[in-house]
Structure 1
Amino acid sequence: MPFPNTSCKLQPDIRNTQRERERGMRSSFKKLEHVWQFWTKKFQTQNIPDPNSSAEYIIAHTLGKKTLFGVRPDTLLSKAQADQVKALCKIRLTRMPVQYILGEWDFQDLTLKMKAPVLIPRPETEELAELCCHTLSHLSSREEKVVLEIGPGSGAITLSLLRRFPELQAVAVDVSEEACELTRLNAHMTGTSDRLTVINGDIMASQVFEHLLTHKPFCLGVSNPPYVTTAEMALLQEEITCFEDHRALHGGEDGLEVVRGVLLRCSQLLKSGGHLWLEVGETHPPLVEKFTAAENTWRGFSSRLKYHKTVADLYGKPRFCHLITS
Structure 2
Amino acid sequence: MKVEQQLRSLPKMRFLPRKVKDVLALSSRIFERQEVPEPSSSACYLLADVMGHKTVTTMNMQTIMTQKHLEQFWDFCRKRLKREPVQYIIGEWDFCDITLKMKPPVLIPRRETEELVNLVEEELNTRFPNGATVLDVGCGSGAISLALAKHRPNDRIMAVDMSLDACCLTRENAKMLNLADRVAIHHLEVEAGTIGIGGCDKFDMIISNPPYIRNDNMQQLAPEVAWYEDHHALCGGMSGMETIRKVLLFSCSALNINGSLWLEVALDQPHVLQRYVARFLPMLRFVGTYTDFSNRLRFCKLKKL
TM > 0.5: yes
Alignment of 1:256-267 (within 5 A): 256-267=241-252
Give identity over the alignment, percent.
Answer: 39
Aligned to 2:226: 241
Secondary structure of the residue aligned to 1:273 is: strand
30, 45, 68: which one aligns with 2:33: 45
CA distance in 2, matches of 1:316, 1:139: 26
- 2:258 corresponds to which letter in structure 1? G
Which of structures 1 and 2 has the bigger CA Rg? 1
- 1:199 corresponds to which letter in structure 2? H
Q: Give the superposition deviation at 1:186.
A: 0.6
Task: Quickly say closer, same or farther: Cα 1:56–1:120, change in 2 above 3 A.
Answer: same
Task: Quickly say closer, same or farther: Cα 1:73–1:38, change in 2 above 3 A.
Answer: same
CA distance in 2, matches of 1:323, 1:105: 30
CA distance in 2, matches of 1:290, 1:214: 33
The answer on 1:126 being equivalent to 2:114 is: yes
Q: Deviations over 1:44-95 (max 9, x none)?
A: 1222111111110000001111110142321221111111101111111111
Q: Give the superposition deviation at 1:233.
A: 0.9
Checking the alignment, whether the CA contact within 8 Å between 1:107 and 1:156 is kept in structure 2 is yes
Checking the alignment, whether the CA contact within 8 Å between 1:147 and 1:170 is kept in structure 2 is yes
Q: Which runs of 4+ in 1 moved over 4 A?
A: none
Pick which of 38-47 and 269-278 moved more: 38-47
159, 169, 184: which one aligns with 2:146: 159
In structure 1, the gaps of 5 or more residues are 1-26, 297-301
Secondary structure of the residue aligned to 1:75 is: coil
Aligned to 1:74: 62
Checking the alignment, whether the CA contact within 8 Å between 1:29 and 1:79 is kept in structure 2 is no
Secondary structure of the residue aligned to 1:247 is: helix
Aligned to 1:6: none
Q: Please give the root-mean-square deviation of Cα atoms over the aligned residues, in Å.
A: 1.6
Checking the alignment, whether the CA contact within 8 Å between 1:292 and 1:307 is kept in structure 2 is yes
Checking the alignment, whether the CA contact within 8 Å between 1:169 and 1:196 is kept in structure 2 is yes
Checking the alignment, whether the CA contact within 8 Å between 2:261 and 2:302 is kept in structure 1 is yes
CA distance in 2, matches of 1:280, 1:32: 41
- 1:308 corresponds to which letter in structure 2? V
Secondary structure of the residue aligned to 1:212 is: coil
In structure 2, the gaps of 5 or more residues are 1-14
Aligned to 2:157: 170
Q: Give the superposition deviation at 1:140.
A: 3.6
97, 101, 117: which one aligns with 1:109: 97
Aligned to 1:56: 44
319, 322, 326: which one aligns with 2:298: 319
Q: Give the superposition deviation at 1:303.
A: 4.2
CA distance in 1, matches of 2:206, 2:77: 39
CA distance in 1, matches of 2:97, 2:249: 32
Secondary structure of the residue aligned to 1:194 is: coil
Name the count of aligned residue pairs.
Answer: 291
Q: Give the superposition deviation at 1:259.
A: 0.3
Aligned to 1:9: none
- 2:173 corresponds to which letter in structure 1? N
